[in-house]
């Protein structure tokens, strides 16, 4: 709704109780999703109900797990460049109850402890889908117990049998697992379990989006609120087609029964781990909410986590590190001093290269608002004046005794101006690419300064 449309439902008394000077100002903020409708205490119950329903995100936020959570949904746009994507899809590993308990426990521990660092963030997987493939309740319960004893990550419980599901929920409901799934054969019983145990429910109907909407509507009418849809996205063409249809229907047509995140199983028809990973990558981009992987290989999982990070990083908020002076490899006061910008990718590329070459150095970081070197220079945020100001602000003279500063090769043009700004300092032009820093420090630094 636009601000003007929202304004029509407000009391128009300008009483300021919402914290805004006028009802119109409040309406504009609500339209921009910067204020909640609940802040106005003067609304009539009818207006409140109407506005709350109208301002609900077209795709509901659904949370799985208790302490560690997968939060998925709450998306408002079809394309990331329109605004941003808010909740990255959960990547979970499927464990089947046909595996031996020892193998299952080992895999669960291995996945739970998997973590890689990128741009200062710890990237991890998000949980497990426990599959009652054997159809045997005892095997499934053994697997559930193994999972509970070896991980605190969120769980998806997969069994078509409601009696088996109930037994599994008795052991896990306090951690709010996802119940997979309500089908046209068992939806009433599964929905009742979701209500009794306060757990989210997956609704599986793979014939068509229309049938899926019908089944979801029935589950909603029983009172289930947290729903994940399973439309059967199982091949490259079918997946992009189905998931895009659901996203369009939810966002453009406000189709409430389809306004939920979706679960996918890219390994179901894959010819191998690589094929599965390719489909998972497509589903990260368009538009899965939870992706269940059958294979866990760090070499495959790492690119998926990186892709997900890139797509779900808000393009309007660059990831950056704090300005300051950073010691790398335990430097002393005769060791090199380099300068670069606070864009995370820039910082971690430069710091990583210095670290791996083993040369002790100081790295001065300028506040450029999270811009890379050339962009910051073009924007006037990484010029001679700003670098000199940062050097003074962080007292570089307290750290080095040689009065030499290495600037990135891409801004060689500011060398003269920086020598004027930092009188008595020798400005050295370093390499353009971070990967050449090691060689530069080992060869050129000594020649120029020592
Ligand atoms: S609290 Fe409600 S009535 Fe008062 S100014 Fe805000 S929007 Fe208007």
Sheet holding 178-182, edge to edge: 227-230, 201-204, 178-182, 155-158, 127-131, 90-96, 290-293, 263-264
Residue 298 pLDDT greater than 70, yes or no: yes
Q: How far is the CA of 58 from the centre of ligand 1 (A)?
A: 25
Ligand 1 close to Cβ of residue 42 (< 6 A):
yes
Model pLDDT, residue 450: 59
State pLDDT tens for residues 398-439. Answer: 999 989 999 999 999 999 999 999 999 999 999 999 999 999
Select from 30, 120, 139 the least CA-distant residue to 320: 120
Select from 352, 303, 297, 349 the least CA-distant residue to 329: 352
State CA 182 to chain mean position distance: 28
Q: How far is the CA of 4 from the centre of ligand 1 (A)?
A: 14
Q: With bands split at pLDDT 50, 70 and 90, how would you rate the model's confidence at 61?
A: very high
Q: Hey, whose CA ends up nearest to atom 4 of ligand 1?
A: 15
Residues across the chain: 450
Bridge partners, residue 365, by sequence: 324, 340
Residue 444 pLDDT greater than 90, yes or no: no
Bond from prior residue into 181 cis (ω within 30 degrees of 0): yes
Atom of ligand 1 nearest to the CA of 19: 6
CA distance linking residue 290 with residue 87, whole number of Å: 11
Residue 130 sits at the vertex; the CA angle it makes with 191 and 154, to the nearest 5 degrees, is: 75
Bridge partners, residue 37, by sequence: none
Q: How far is the CA of 5 from the centre of ligand 1 (A)?
A: 15
Angle at which helices 162-172 and 137-150 cross, to 10° = 20
CB 90 within 8 A of CB 126: yes
Which runs of E-coded beta strand occur in 289-385? Answer: 290-293, 324-328, 337-341, 361-366
State pLDDT tens for residues 144-181. Answer: 999 999 999 999 999 999 999 999 999 999 999 999 99
Q: With bands split at pLDDT 50, 70 and 90, how would you rate the model's confidence at 33?
A: confident
Q: With bands split at pLDDT 50, 70 and 90, how would you rate the model's confidence at 81?
A: confident
Buried b (16+ CB within 10 A) or exposed e, 134-147: eeebebbbebbebb
CB 41 within 8 A of CB 25: no
Cα separation of the two ends of the chain: 66
CA-to-CA separations, 362 to 271, 342, 344, 406, in angstroms, rounded: 50, 14, 17, 10
Which of 8, 9, 14, 37 is the best mutation target for the ligand 1 pocket, counting ligand atoms within 8 Å of the beta carbon and taking the most?
Answer: 14
Q: With bands split at pLDDT 50, 70 and 90, how would you rate the model's confidence at 52?
A: confident
State pLDDT tens for residues 98-119. Answer: 999 999 999 999 999 999 988 7
What pTM was estimated for this model as a whole? 0.80
Q: How far is the CA of 9 from the centre of ligand 1 (A)?
A: 11
Ligand 1 close to Cβ of residue 26 (< 6 A):
yes
Mean pLDDT over all residues of the chain? 94
- Weakest-pLDDT range from 267-271, 313-317, 343-347, 402-406: 313-317
3-state per-residue secondary structure call for 156-170: EEECCCHHHHHHHHH
Burial of residue 47 (number of CB atoms within 10 Å: 0-12, 13-18, 19+)? middle
Ligand 1 close to Cβ of residue 18 (< 6 A):
yes
The domains found in the chain, sorted by start residue, are: 3-54 (1.10.15.40), 62-311 (3.20.20.20), 324-449 (3.40.50.11600)
The one-character DSSP state at 320 is B
């Amino acid at each position: 709704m636009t601000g003007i449309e929202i304004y029509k439902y407000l009391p128009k008394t300008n009483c300021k109780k919402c914290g805004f000077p006028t009802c119109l100002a409040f309406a504009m903020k609500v339209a921009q999703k910067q204020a909640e409708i609940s802040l106005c205490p003067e609304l009539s119950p009818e207006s409140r109900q109407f506005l709350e329903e109208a301002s609900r995100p077209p795709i509901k936020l659904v949370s799985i797990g208790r302490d560690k959570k997968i939060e998925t949904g709450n998306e408002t746009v079809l394309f990331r460049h329109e605004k941003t994507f808010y909740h990255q899809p959960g990547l979970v590993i499927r464990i089947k109850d046909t595996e031996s308990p020892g193998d299952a426990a080992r895999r669960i521990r291995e996945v739970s402890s998997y973590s890689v660092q990128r741009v200062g963030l710890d990237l991890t997987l998000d949980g497990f889908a426990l599959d009652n493939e054997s159809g045997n309740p005892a095997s499934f319960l053994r697997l559930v117990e193994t999972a509970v004893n070896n991980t605190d990550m969120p769980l998806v419980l997969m069994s078509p049998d409601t009696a088996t599901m109930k037994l599994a929920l008795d052991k896990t409901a306090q951690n709010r697992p996802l119940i997979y799934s309500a089908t046209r054969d068992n939806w009433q019983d599964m929905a009742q379990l979701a209500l009794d145990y306060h757990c989210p429910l997956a609704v599986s109907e793979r014939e068509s989006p229309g049938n899926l909407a019908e089944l979801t509507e029935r589950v909603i009418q029983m009172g289930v609120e947290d729903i994940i849809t399973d439309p059967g996205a199982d091949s490259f063409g079918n997946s992009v087609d189905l998931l895009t249809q659901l996203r369009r229907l939810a966002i453009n047509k406000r189709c409430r029964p389809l306004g939920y995140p979706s679960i996918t199983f890219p390994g179901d028809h894959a010819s191998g781990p690589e094929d599965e990973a390719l489909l998972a990558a497509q589903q990260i981009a368009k538009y899965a909410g939870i992706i269940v992987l059958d294979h866990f290989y760090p070499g495959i999982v790492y690119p998926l986590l990186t892709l997900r990070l890139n797509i779900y990083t808000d393009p309007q908020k660059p990831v950056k590190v704090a300005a300051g002076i950073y010691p790398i490899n335990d430097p002393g006061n005769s060791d090199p001093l380099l300068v670069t910008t606070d864009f995370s990718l820039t910082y971690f590329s430069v710091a990583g290269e210095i670290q791996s070459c083993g040369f002790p150095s100081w790295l001065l970081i300028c506040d450029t608002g999270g811009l890379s070197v050339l962009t910051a220079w073009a924007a006037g945020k990484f010029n001679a004046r700003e670098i000199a100001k940062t050097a003074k602000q962080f007292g570089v003279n307290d750290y080095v005794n040689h009065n030499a500063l290495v600037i990135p090769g891409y801004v060689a043009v500011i060398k003269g101006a920086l020598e004027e700004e930092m009188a008595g300092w020798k400005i050295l032009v370093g390499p353009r690419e971070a990967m050449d820093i090691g060689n530069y420090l080992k060869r050129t630094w000594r020649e120029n300064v020592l």
